[in-house]
C-alpha cells in the first residue's frame, strides 16, 4: 500500500525528524512561498503578531514533513554569506566541516585552535554553524495579512512550536500517551500563534527584533484543511464520514492503556466508515498536491555553484593559514600549494584521514 492510501494508518511519531533526534541555520534564499510572522508587521495595538495556522504533513513526502536544514554563515572581506552543508544529508566530507576538524583538533591554545574555539574560551568562533527546520502550513486566519488566508505556504518552524508538535506526535514512551496526528490534513489541529517582540532596550534597540518569541496553543477541535479559497475539500456526505471517524479516534487518543488502545484502533480500522474515508483521502491528497509547495524540494541540499565553491575555498584557505578572512583579501602564498583543491567536497578517503571522534562532535 502506498503512502497516499496508508495515510490514515500513518504514525506521526515516525516522522524522519523524530527518528533523527532519537538517534542523536539558515536555509536557501527566501522565496515568495515562505510565511513570516513578525511583530513589526502586526496590526495589534499591543505589538503582538497573532494568526491561526495549520502545520501539515508534506503531501509529496509524508515521512519527511519536517525538513532539517544545516548551513554555515561565513564572514569574509566581502561580507556575510550563508552556504548549505552536506552534513544535512549525512555526508561528513563537507570542506567547511573538514576545515573545522583541523582547527578543533589542533593543539589547544594554538593559532589554528583559536579559529574554531568559542569566544568564551578565547577563540574567534569563525565556524558559525546553524540549524533550521522547515514545514508546510496552511494559513487559516491572519488579520495582519488577510491576503494570505487559505494559502498553502512554507514556514521556518520555531523551536518552541516544534516542541509543541513533538509533544503531541512523539510523546515520551513513559508518558503512556498516544501519538496524536496534529499535522493531519483533515483531522489535525490548527495552532493559534502569538509572536511577541523582544524587550524595549534603549541601549540596544536591536533586541526588539532579534529577541522575538513564539508561543501557541492547539485549537480545541480538529480543523480540516480547506481549498485555498476557503471552501471545503469535502462534500456534505464526506464530512459526515470524517466526523464519525474523528469521534472514534478521539476515544483512541485519550485511552492510556496501550493494549486496550490497540484493540480500539483495530476496531476503528475495520469499520466500513474508515474504508470509505480512505477512498476520500486518496482524492483529497491528490487535490492538495496541486496547490501545495514541496518543502523537501525547496529545502533539500543543493551543491554549491562555482562562485560559491571558490569563495568558500578562499575562506577556508585563509582560516587554515591562521589569518582572518574578514581582513585578509588574498590567500597567503605559504598555503596556496599546501591546501587541497576544494572545488567540491573532499573525498571520503581524505575525510577519513582527519582526526577521529566524529560521533562525539557537537554537530
Query: Cβ distance 338 to 321 under 8 Å?
Result: no
pLDDT on residue 280: 96
Helix (H, G, I), strand (E, B) or coil at 214: strand
At 33-56, the pLDDT tens digits run: 999 999 999 999 999 999 999 999
- Please check whether residue 28 lies inside any domain of the structure: yes
Query: Cβ distance 251 to 230 under 8 Å?
Result: no
Crossing angle (nearest 10°) for helices 236-254 and 272-291: 110
How many domains are there within the chain?
A: 1
Rounded-to-10 torsion of CA 103, 107, 111, 117: 50
Q: Grid coordinates in use for 352?
A: 577519513
Q: How confident is the model at residue 263 (pLDDT cuts 50, 70, 90)?
A: very high
- Please check whether residue 41 lies inside any domain of the structure: yes
Task: With 0.85 as the threshold, say if the pTM is over it.
Answer: no
pLDDT on residue 333: 65
- Please check whether residue 163 lies inside any domain of the structure: yes
Euclidean distance between CA atoms 73 and 362, whole angstroms: 17
Euclidean distance between CA atoms 235 and 257, whole angstroms: 36
Q: Please give the distance of CA 86 from its chain centroid, rounded to a whole number.
A: 16
- Please check whether residue 65 lies inside any domain of the structure: yes
- Please check whether residue 310 lies inside any domain of the structure: no
Q: How confident is the model at residue 30 (pLDDT cuts 50, 70, 90)?
A: low
Determine the longest span between alpha carbons in the chain, in angstroms: 76
- Please check whether residue 116 lies inside any domain of the structure: no
Euclidean distance between CA atoms 120 and 52, whole angstroms: 40
At 269-298, the pLDDT tens digits run: 999 999 999 999 999 999 999 999 999 999
25/82: higher pLDDT:
82
Mean per-residue pLDDT of the chain: 87
Q: How confident is the model at residue 32 (pLDDT cuts 50, 70, 90)?
A: confident
CATH of the domain at 204: 3.90.198.10
- Please check whether residue 42 lies inside any domain of the structure: yes
List the beta strands (DSSP E) in the chain: 34-35, 49-56, 67-76, 79-84, 128-141, 152-156, 191-196, 213-218
28/193: higher pLDDT:
193
pLDDT on residue 348: 31
Q: Grid coordinates in use for 349?
A: 578517503
Crossing angle (nearest 10°) for helices 236-254 and 258-270: 160
352/76: higher pLDDT:
76
pLDDT on residue 212: 95
Q: How confident is the model at residue 1 (pLDDT cuts 50, 70, 90)?
A: very low
pLDDT on residue 173: 87
Q: How confident is the model at residue 3 (pLDDT cuts 50, 70, 90)?
A: very low
- Please check whether residue 24 lies inside any domain of the structure: yes
State the residue range of the domain holding 204.
7-69+131-229+291-299
At 328-342, the pLDDT tens digits run: 877 766 555 444 333
At 68-101, the pLDDT tens digits run: 999 999 999 999 999 999 999 999 999 999 999 9
Query: Cβ distance 52 to 140 under 8 Å?
Result: yes
Amino acid at each position: 500500500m502506498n503512502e497516499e492510501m496508508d495515510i490514515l494508518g500513518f504514525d506521526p511519531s515516525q516522522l524522519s525528524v523524530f527518528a533523527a533526534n532519537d538517534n542523536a541555520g539558515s536555509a536557501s534564499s527566501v522565496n515568495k512561498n515562505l510565511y513570516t510572522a513578525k511583530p513589526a508587521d502586526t496590526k495589534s495595538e499591543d505589538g503582538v503578531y497573532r494568526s491561526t495556522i495549520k502545520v501539515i504533513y508534506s503531501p509529496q513526502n509524508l515521512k519527511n514533513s519536517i525538513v532539517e536544514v544545516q548551513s554555515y554563515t561565513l564572514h569574509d572581506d566581502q561580507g556575510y554569506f550563508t552556504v548549505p552543508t552536506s552534513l544535512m544529508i549525512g555526508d561528513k566530507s563537507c570542506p567547511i566541516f573538514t576545515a573545522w576538524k583541523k582547527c578543533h583538533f589542533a593543539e589547544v591554545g594554538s593559532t589554528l585552535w583559536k579559529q574554531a574555539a568559542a569566544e568564551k574560551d578565547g577563540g574567534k568562533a569563525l565556524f558559525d554553524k546553524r540549524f533550521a527546520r522547515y514545514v508546510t502550513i496552511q494559513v487559516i486566519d491572519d488579520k495582519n495579512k488577510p491576503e494570505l488566508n487559505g494559502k498553502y505556504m512554507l514556514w521556518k518552524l520555531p523551536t518552541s512550536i516544534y516542541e509543541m508538535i513533538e509533544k503531541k506526535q512523539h510523546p515520551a514512551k513513559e508518558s503512556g500517551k498516544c501519538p496524536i496526528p496534529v499535522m493531519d490534513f483533515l483531522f489535525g489541529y490548527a495552532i493559534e500563534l502569538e509572536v511577541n517582540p523582544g524587550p524595549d532596550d534603549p541601549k540596544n534597540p536591536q533586541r526588539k527584533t532579534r529577541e522575538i518569541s513564539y508561543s501557541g496553543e492547539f485549537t480545541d477541535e480538529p480543523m480540516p484543511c480547506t481549498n485555498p479559497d476557503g471552501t471545503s475539500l469535502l462534500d456534505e456526505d464526506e464530512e459526515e464520514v470524517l466526523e464519525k471517524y474523528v469521534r472514534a479516534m478521539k476515544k483512541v487518543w485519550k485511552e492510556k492503556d496501550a493494549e486496550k488502545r490497540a484493540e480500539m484502533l483495530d476496531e476503528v480500522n475495520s469499520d466500513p466508515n474508515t474504508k470509505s474515508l480512505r477512498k476520500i483521502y486518496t482524492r483529497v491528497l491528490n487535490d492538495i498536491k496541486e496547490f501545495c509547495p514541496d518543502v523537501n524540494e525547496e529545502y533539500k541540499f543543493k551543491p554549491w555553484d562555482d562562485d560559491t565553491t571558490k569563495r568558500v575555498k578562499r575562506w577556508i584557505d585563509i582560516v587554515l593559514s591562521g589569518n582572518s578572512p574578514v581582513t585578509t583579501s588574498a590567500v597567503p602564498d605559504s598555503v596556496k600549494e599546501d591546501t587541497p583543491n576544494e572545488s567540491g567536497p573532499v573525498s571520503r578517503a581524505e575525510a577519513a584521514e582527519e582526526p577521529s571522534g566524529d560521533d562525539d562532535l557537537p554537530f
